[in-house]
Amino acid sequence: MILINKPTELHEKIKEERQKGRSIGFVPTMGALHEGHLSLIQVARSNHDLVVVSIFVNPLQFGEGEDFETYPRDIDRDQELCRQEAVDILFAPSVSEMYPETASVEIKVVEGVDVLCGQSRPGHFDGVATVVLKLLHMVWPDAAYFGQKDAQQVAVIKQMVKTLSMPLSIVASPTVRESDGLAKSSRNVHLTKDERQIAPKLYQTLLEAKEHASGGANRKELISFIQKRLETLTLGRVDYVDVLSYPKLEQVEELSGTIILALAYHFSHARLIDNIIIEK
Ligand code: AMP
């Protein structure tokens, strides 16, 4: 595995590999890798000749007062994990290498961002789309791999790639969870001991809501069901709860087709998100 920090160096290496006709799979991450990230790397490894992983905590996707500074970082451990997963190139640029000058063009996501994280973190998906677009230009992979844990991100990126006619596939993989159901997240290290005990309730609540949905509950009833359950938790507070069509992310009163049940929850030092997708 080689570690590359400079986009120009990455470009040279990718050009060489492309000339050899090798297929490229790409996994963009913000590091502090866990089994969720590794599952994406493993799928990419099984599908491509060359696997590129990026680690970049993207300031553009963090709002004021969010956790950009405190976001967990451990490049040595990440490097070791990538080596174990037979990653070929680990790309870890600095902020100044990624954003060397003021931007002459701004990326603005205009679809699917008036709900969920797009609503509670204004501008977040503009930052995500900007960095993903830049990374996709640098790596120009045949496929890029994303986690369904960030379901709105998957929907936004798929639409962006389609809108911009980019010739690559966006592949989504299921959420990897701890044995008690908590979705793996780099931010879980910021949970206190007591919060960590409560945190699996987020997923349990979504599972109970799924049952409720099979019983015929409509959108409003499901949202209120989830909200009420979460309000009984003794720590933290709800950021949002919603039930929408997926991947369009539209409000539909009568639930049919593919539906996402999604939530975001604030603990003292970590805002966690989770979702499940059901077929009605
Ligand atoms: P992040 O480093 O949090 O930006 O995540 C990088 C990629 O890993 C994104 O596509 C995430 O959706 C994905 N990911 C994060 N957590 C999980 C998880 N628990 N299971 C599957 N994929 C995940």
Q: What tens digit of pLDDT does each residue of 52-75 get?
A: 999 999 999 999 999 999 999 999
Is 182 assigned to a binding site?
A: no
Can 124 be counted among the known catalytic residues?
no
In angstroms, what CA-CA distances link 167 with 33, 60, 195? Answer: 28, 25, 43
Is 176 assigned to a binding site?
A: yes
Nearest CA to ligand 1 atom 10: 146
CATH of the domain at 209: 3.30.1300.10
CB contact at 8 A, 20 and 31: no
- Dmax (CA) for the chain in angstroms is 58
Note down the domain range covering 124. Answer: 2-173
Is 134 a member of any domain?
yes
SS3 (DSSP) at 263: strand
Pocket lining: 58 vs ligand 1, CB cutoff 6 Å: no
Query: Measured on CA atoms in the order 50, 51, 55, 60, is the torsion positive or negative?
Result: positive
Q: Which helix (H) or strand (E) holds 3?
A: strand 2-4
Surface-to-core class of residue 143, CB atoms within 10 Å of its CB (0-12 exposed, 13-18 middle, 19+ buried): middle
pTM for this entry: 0.97
Last residue of a domain, one of 139, 173, 207: 173
pLDDT tens-digit readout, 223-275: 999 999 999 999 999 999 999 999 999 998 789 999 999 999 999 999 999 99
Angle at 16 (CA atoms; ends 13, 22), nearest 5 degrees = 105
Pocket lining: 39 vs ligand 1, CB cutoff 6 Å: yes
In the chain, the number of structural domains is 2
**What is the rounded average pLDDT for all residues in the chain?**
97
Is 178 a member of any domain?
no
- C-alpha to C-alpha distance for 174 and 36, rounded to whole angstroms: 9
> For position 157, what pLDDT does the model report?
98
Last residue of a domain, one of 173, 194, 221: 173
